[in-house]
Structure 1
Amino acid sequence: MKKIIFSLTLLFSLVVGYSLNAVADYVGASSFPTLKTVVDVIKNGKDDQLAVLNGYIIKKVGNEKYIFKDSTGEIRIEIDKKRMPTQSFDEKTKVEITGEVEKEFLHSVEIDVDSIKFIKN
């Protein structure tokens, strides 16, 4: 009987302890607006700020590095292999990229892409 009570007490403490360590993320309004154009990213972007851009991925410039172009300009983007779409595309395929601004000391601004969606013209 003591073993059962001890086991139940241990199990209960593990469940309660685990649930107290659960971490949630803030999902409310951001103090930084979502960036919508390349020129906004370059001029006003803050590190880790959300960007949602519509345009074209026009060329590959390195390992996981590409140039993205919209009507306001061009910017380097990084797309991890796991984020690449399964469907082929080229410089004429209109896309929406969602990602975060990356500003590193002595480097130009780029977007770390989280997702790519194809846009029908």
Structure 2
Amino acid sequence: MKKFLTLTTLLAISTSALAGFNGSNNEPAKAVNTIAQAKKAAENTPVTLTGNITRQIDSDEFLFKDATGEIKIDVEDHAWQNQNITPKDKITIYGKVDQDSQGPASIDVDRIQKR
């Protein structure tokens, strides 16, 4: 009887360890690669964009340009990774789309990589 209870308990525990959400939309969102795509993307869509910062708007906001357009980016201090970037430098930015109901989309930048 003890073996049966032990086996039943182990079976119940192992079954619950395998449980989890298995919805139809469990794929991670794919990163968009152009500004044109980013402007149409949903809030928090990952982005990987390559281009140039064209000018500074204020302390942490800049205009970023690629072959498909221009978009405002918001860059926190940690994203620079101690790199000095000029408008001539080709860079890749990694971040997420910020769809503002008050205006056009922008990008919240998590990391910048100089090319």
TM-score by length of 1: 0.70
Give the alignment partner of residue 35 of structure 1, picking from 20, 32, 37: 32
Give the alignment partner of residue 64 of structure 1, picking from 60, 65, 89: 60
| Equivalent residue, structure 2, for 1:111 | 107
Matched residue SS, 1:42: helix
Task: Give structure 2 stretches of 5+ with no counterpart.
Answer: 1-25
Question: Mapping of 1:83-102 within 5 angstroms?
Answer: 83-102=79-98
4+ residue runs over 3 A deviation: none
Deviation at 1:62, TM superposition (A): 1.2
Deviation at 1:89, TM superposition (A): 1.7
Deviation at 1:71, TM superposition (A): 0.5
* 2:78–2:111 contact (8 Å) kept in structure 1: no
Q: Which amino acid aligns with 2:34?
A: T
Q: Figure out how many residues of one structure are paired with residues of the other and give that number.
A: 90
C-alpha separation between the residues in 2 aligned to 1:36 and 1:74? 13
Deviation at 1:58, TM superposition (A): 1.0
Deviation at 1:49, TM superposition (A): 0.6
Deviation at 1:107, TM superposition (A): 2.1
Deviation at 1:109, TM superposition (A): 0.4
- Whether 2:97 is the aligned partner of 1:76: answer no
Task: Give structure 1 stretches of 5+ with no counterpart.
Answer: 1-27
CA deviations on 1:49-96 (whole Å, 9 max, x unpaired) are 100000001110112000000000000000012222312121010000
Q: Which amino acid aligns with 2:81?
A: P
Question: Mapping of 1:1-16 within 5 angstroms?
Answer: none
C-alpha separation between the residues in 2 aligned to 1:84 and 1:55? 15
Q: Which amino acid aligns with 2:97?
A: V
